[in-house]
């Protein structure tokens, strides 16, 4: 068992310098990918994202906060009643759009079309 633990720790340490592993950690959550997909068209309000992604508000809030901390989105809050909050992709977030498009192309070619 100790040997397995040592191998697991080594694998994790090796992945700390792997660009694929680091990117997967950043966007590996399906909701984050769907938020990126939706924000590709421009700034959206929280309610629009909630409707499109079909996730409960608590989960969406958590993912948006994580994306904001990771520098993928910018949150704009307006002092209005009711409060209005909008989200926009940053340059770092927009740089991930080709990844989202590659996932879309793969899904179109291999998952939606008959094989």
Residue 58 has pLDDT above 70, yes or no: yes
The answer to whether residue 95 sits within a structural domain is yes
- For residue 35, with 0-12 CB atoms within 10 Å meaning exposed, 13-18 middle and 19 or more buried, which class applies? buried
Segment 69-79 shows an average pLDDT of 96
Mean pLDDT of 67-84: 95
pLDDT for the residue numbered 115: 62
Residue bearing tokens 């992709």: 89
* CATH number of the domain bearing residue 84: 1.10.10.10
Domain span at residue 53? 28-112
Residue 45 lies in a domain: yes
Question: What does DSSP assign to residue 70?
Answer: T
6 lies in some domain: no
Residue 13 domain flag: no
- Structure tokens belonging to residue 7: 């191998």
In a domain, 85, yes or no: yes
Q: Is residue 14 part of a domain?
A: no
Q: What is the mean pLDDT of the chain?
A: 90
Residue 51 lies in a domain: yes
Give a yes or no: residue 94 inside a domain.
Answer: yes
pLDDT digits (tens, 9 = 90+) for 9-51: 555 567 788 888 889 999 999 999 999 999 999 999 999 999 9
Domain count, the chain: 1
């Amino acid at each position: 068992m100790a040997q397995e633990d040592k191998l697991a720790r080594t694998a994790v340490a090796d992945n700390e310098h792997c660009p694929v592993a680091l990117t997967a950690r950043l966007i590996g959550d399906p909701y984050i990918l769907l938020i990126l997909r939706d924000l590709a068209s421009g700034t959206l309000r929280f309610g629009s994202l909630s409707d499109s992604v079909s996730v409960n508000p608590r989960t969406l809030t958590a993912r948006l906060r994580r994306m904001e901390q990771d520098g993928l989105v910018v949150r704009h809050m307006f002092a209005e009643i009711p409060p209005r909050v909008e989200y926009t992709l940053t340059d770092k977030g927009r740089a991930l759009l080709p990844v989202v498009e590659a996932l879309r192309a793969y899904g179109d070619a291999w998952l939606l079309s008959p094989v």
